[in-house]
Structure 1
């Protein structure tokens, strides 16, 4: 699989805390830390990834 990553719009900008997401492979969503592009990405089922992003947007993980 060849993932084409893009920087998430929710990344930290100048702070350097960036998350990159790839959705170019059917049936898969991949996430990686932009500071470690050669590291192993986290792989998600698209529906579960969408549910996770929805939870983040809703503030369910805010402390």
Structure 2
């Protein structure tokens, strides 16, 4: 994990195919391993800001 120093397996949760798992879970062939990191921004807030920006751009184009 030296390549990805932003991943901390002592803090971040892990899963296999969208189901939480522990680091001790035995993997099978073709398992998709996922690392769940905290969100950087609130998705609802970002979407609202993007919609407001788009609305403002449309009103500028009309005038």
Q: TM-score range by the shorter chain?
A: under 0.3
**TM-score (ref. length: structure 1):** 0.27
Structure-2-length-normalised TM-score: 0.27
Q: Which has the larger radius of gyration?
A: 2
**The structure with more strand, counted as a fraction of residues:** 1
Higher relative contact order (CA 8 A, sep 6+): 2
